Chain A
Amino acid sequence: MTDNRRDLLLFAGLGVLFAIIFYTQGTAYSLRVTVEALCYAMIAFGLSLQWGTAGLFNVGIMGFIAAGAFASLFVTFPVNQAFWDSEGPAMLGDVLVKVAIGAAAVFAASRSGKIGLPKPLVTFLTLVTLAVAYLVVSASLDPTARYIEREAGFVGGLGLPVYFGWAAAGIVAGAIAWVVGKICLGLRSDYLAIATLGIAQIIKTFLKNADWLTRGTQTVSPLPWPVPGAAEVGFTAARASYLVLTAVMLVIVYMLLQRVYHAPWGRMMRAIRDNEDAASAMGKDVTKRRLEIFVFGCVLMGIGGATLIHFNTIFDPNGFVDLNHTFLIWVMVILGGPGNNRGAIFGALLVYVIWTMSEPVTLVIFDYIRTIGRDMFGWQAPADLNSRALAMRVFVIGLTITMVLRFAPKGVIPERLSRKA
């Protein structure tokens, strides 16, 4: 029970912090910070599940957020009639058919060992099929992309309700995670780290350059809101209702996660994390279970990313950066306490508030440094001091990660291991 009291105290402290922010920064701004913090908490749940419960190292969170955000954009954005009236859909359908045939051919080639072909030949066949399929698809995608960009700007959306978009966000992020996990989870965890890092960069590059699909750097806005917008019920009420929505989603996910954590499935996951060999000796399929939890975690990241992007109503591929969307979440989870869902929420809310506040604070501090340096030493500050000042925040994030790992590896709200079975 002392544990619960401690948690309660910590969350009460957090409540006081938010009350201070609401009091000093105004309601509209504070509501924004709170909603974003809750979205981050959803993403942090995903990471806490992967890292805390299963020990999987994902440094490509940004990629899953971006993929989820795009999926949601595609499903919910109003229909672009110019695209549907043009030749675009037919051409795109042609490309999709080629993708499907190519995928089927590659799959068949990779399974051709079943009919008795020797392994080197199978590998060779698969690689050749893959190369041919890639060339065919990219050759037919190129003119299609150019045509769509010329005739219709971009593909547009499907115009479905936002909730469908969020579901799609989870599905797409989960599907990507399944592919990555399928390849890397049987190997050592470092490989997963490298692969997720790579996939995140590639997803971002794709979203940035595929103008026909995402409008690229021209950005897409406004994304629809699932709740009445500012124009209908006013600024504060709109943001407040979005806040309620995210809070409800967060509570539901929290309760599900708690159930899962204490269920046999969660216990098995922790067993695999703590002693992989013992768990596999007990007959647990380690790789398969890891794949499950990896996909599940990424689904949460995708949904969290979609809620975040819809709140800000703008989809900007350049807005996804490793620092804000990967490492910040790592700080939230390891500071809050990996493997403990309360820790994830606590870490997310606290770190996000500190993070948003740190920007003006850093600028003020460096402004002082500039003034003092000029008055006392005649120092001419470089013109880009402000952007340099913000680099300080990168340093602080890195320092926090290394310090927490060394001095408080269990976080503020550590995982509680129950003694009884």
Chain B
Amino acid sequence: MNELVFFINKGILAGAIIGSIYALGAIGVTLIFGILRFAHFAHGDMMTLGAFIAYVLAAALAAAGFAGPLPIAMMVLPIVMILTAGISIGIDRTFYQPLRRSGAKGIVLVMASIGVTLMLQGLIRLFAGPSSRELYFNEPKDIFRIEVPGANQMITVTEPQLALFIVTLISVIALHYFLSRSRLGKAMRAVSDNPSLAQVTGISIETVVRATWIIGGGLAALAGTMLALDVSLKPDLSFNILLPIFAATIVGGIGQPYGAIAGGFVVGYAETLAVFNWSVLLRPIARWTDNAFEVPASLAIVPTDYKLMVPFVLLILILIYRPTGIFKGRVL
């Protein structure tokens, strides 16, 4: 049973955690891809930016002696999301909108977003330094243990991980109702499907674009902060997290928010299970069969160092065999 508990901890839960992070990021990327029609390379650093804002706010509040039932960084989340959404609208106004107005090709916007990502990286490192930080200030990181009968190890979930599952669930449900029930959400889907037709029916593209950045920026801040709470705030995450998010977007189908959620979990699980040491699960089988076969010490499909290869290979396979993604997105 111990082995099974280990698998639940290191395989199923770990995959769900990283999958949630990817899903939250990929929703933003897929909406921006669908509505503004370019791959937003600055999304990884927007996540870091959100986490960094959360860090600054939480540090300030912690210094002021503020305390509450939850970690401070979690309680300031709404403010962080609003601030990051505001910043992303500001970035759009300053850097992307002029290019869109002048009728630049989509790929020029991609390049501009790379410029933005470098600027964000530079600023974050200038103010935060290259070292990683903790988002917990003098607070205990609560750990919930669930006992499993017949095993002396326990299923463990930490407080930020539980919070991550809850906020992911809330945001996915909220997003669903927003996109399917509200006027603005429907307008966003219309613009994503056919911008000129949507414009003819009187939908304001500007409003839709703003809403896209608010959702994308807010969710990026959410994902970044939760990731930083779970592990730590690393300023140099950008491309390492960007690639799985892009993979999730494309696996799910571009412009498909539900696809992005599914893609996020597919990529998250693929990554986790590929580096998982499967010999842990084989050992009890070998015991039952009186060591009929020898279990190697490590039986991971992909060495941990090559973790980044998993989303990339997924991406390549999906591009070859099903460029529309699992949810029949658009091939742009």
Interface residues in chain A, defined as those with a beta carbon under 8 Å from any beta carbon in chain B: 55, 57, 59, 123, 127, 135, 183-184, 187-191, 193-195, 197-199, 201-202, 205-206, 208-209, 322-323, 327, 330, 334, 382, 384, 387-389, 391-402, 405-406, 409
Contact = CB atoms under 8 A, between A and B. Distances in A.
Nearest to B240: A201
B305 A209 contact: yes
B20 interface: no
A334 B38 CA distance: 19
A191 B325 CA distance: 13
B296 to A, nearest CB: 9
Contact of B319 (A191, A398, A402): A191
A405 B119 contact: no
B243 A401 contact: no
What does DSSP make chain A's interface, helix, strand, loop or mixed? helix
Given A187-B331, A384-B129, A405-B99, A395 B118 contact: yes
Contact of A123 (B122, B315, B321): B321
Interface stretch (B101-109, B181-189, B264-272): B101-109
Q: Specify which of B33, B114, B239, B320 lies most central, judged by the most chain A CB atoms within 10 Å of its CB.
A: B114
A268 B43 CA distance: 36
Contacts of B39: 190, 193-194
Contact of A322 (B38, B99, B115, B239): B239
A394 B45 CA distance: 13
A206 B120 CA distance: 28
Interface stretch (B194-202, B222-230, B306-314): B306-314
Interface in B288-332: 301, 303, 305-306, 308-309, 311-312, 315-317, 319-321, 323, 331-332
Interface of B: 33, 38-39, 41, 95, 98-99, 104-108, 110-112, 114-127, 129-131, 239-240, 242-243, 246, 250, 301, 303, 305-306, 308-309, 311-312, 315-317, 319-321, 323, 331-332
A402 B308 contact: no
Nearest to A334: B111
B280 to A, nearest CB: 18
A406 B101 CA distance: 11
Contacts of A57: 107, 110-111
Given A183-B316, A187-B331, A387-B130, 20 more contacts: A123-B321, A183-B320, A188-B332, A190-B33, A190-B39, A198-B311, A199-B312, A202-B308, A209-B306, A327-B118, A330-B111, A384-B131, A393-B122, A394-B119, A394-B122, A395-B121, A395-B126, A398-B119, A402-B95, A405-B115
Contact of A201 (B112, B308, B331): B308
A251 B107 CA distance: 31
A394 B115 CA distance: 9
Given A195-B319, A198-B308, A205-B306, A188 B331 contact: yes
